[in-house]
Amino acid sequence: MKKLFFFILGLLTVGLFLVDFTPSYWGSELYNEVEGKVIQNDETSVLLLTKDGEEIEISKDRSTIVDQDFEVGDRLVVQDWGEVGISSYTLADYVRRPAVYILFALFIGTVILVTGWQGLRSLLGLVFSFVILFKLLFPLMLLGWDPLWTAIFGSLLMIPAMFYLSHGFNRKTSAAVLGTFFALVVSGVLAGIFADLAHLSGLADDSAAFLNAQFGDLIDFQKLLLAGILISMLGVLDDVSISQASIVHELKSNKKNISFWDLYTRAMSVGKDHIGSMVNTLVLVFAGASLPMLLIFLIDGYGMNSVLNYEFVAEEMVQTFAASIGLILTVPITTFFASLQKSP
């Protein structure tokens, strides 16, 4: 069974690399991008040297970069909006990839150094999740597939892969998988009900509004909002469910003849502490992520009733509370399945 699972997993990953679901209109840009290194900088313009050895002088007036305190050696992204044979350059942004790559390499090194082989397996699960998202789910959504059902389908693929690769093929992990599935369903149903009750369109975010201008006829943005909630929950549910299943496993190991109810109640007494910490964490995460918005409301003297009536605030609240309820219910659900497996 274990070998068959990993064989299917590998086959699916290779198949997704070979089969391209990407819509034909992806990558059809209105401009060309080039990168250059700053070799000269003054108050009005900057001189760049591209990889091809071409020197480009661009006025700082033609820039979308807020921080224009350029230094010699900085690498910048330049967009060419001109037609064939006629260049029209704009300073677009700093080249940030090297910093991201270095930090990602440090992340991989830290995971492997601290956790060894298990960390490497977890990284393979991360790779599989990225393949599912970028090679399957996102292209299918842009082809007009229902975002919610597409996200559910993707979750059914990602959850077993992430869990069994990271934590091994055993009964403890299976209990965590079942707990995560059920909690995800509860969160999705709640988010759908209250998105309708709150009349959420899914277009409060600027990115969604921009996407609507291009693909409004193909995408149901309320369902896209719900799909985002489900996908964003997967990683957190992994942590909660496997922790709770591990608690049950350890309790049973220490007392072989423990009854189902005794095992469940003891595990839940520990799980309640976990739930208490999660409630505080989720509120603080919401406050931190929405800090600029909350400061604006505070400065302008908006009342709480007015704030909650804005769609982008209500959208965040529905996302936060639906996900929170799912996370909280993960604890008793996972504990139930793990206790059922471990009971005599």
pLDDT digits (tens, 9 = 90+) for 222-243: 899 889 888 888 878 888 899 8
The per-residue pLDDT for range 184-223, each reduced to its tens digit, is 988 888 888 998 998 988 888 778 888 888 776 788 888 9
Q: Give the sheet arrangement for strand 32-41, strand by strand.
A: 55-59, 45-50, 32-41, 75-80, 89-94
Answer whether CATH 1.20.1640 is correct for domain 116-342.
yes
Residues 114-126 have pLDDT tens digits of: 988 888 888 988 8
Comma-separated ranges of CATH 2.40.50.140 domains in the chain: 32-95
Chain region(s) in the chain for CATH 1.20.1640 = 116-342
Domain 32-95 grouped into CATH 1.10.287.3510: no
Mean of pLDDT values over 297-307: 74
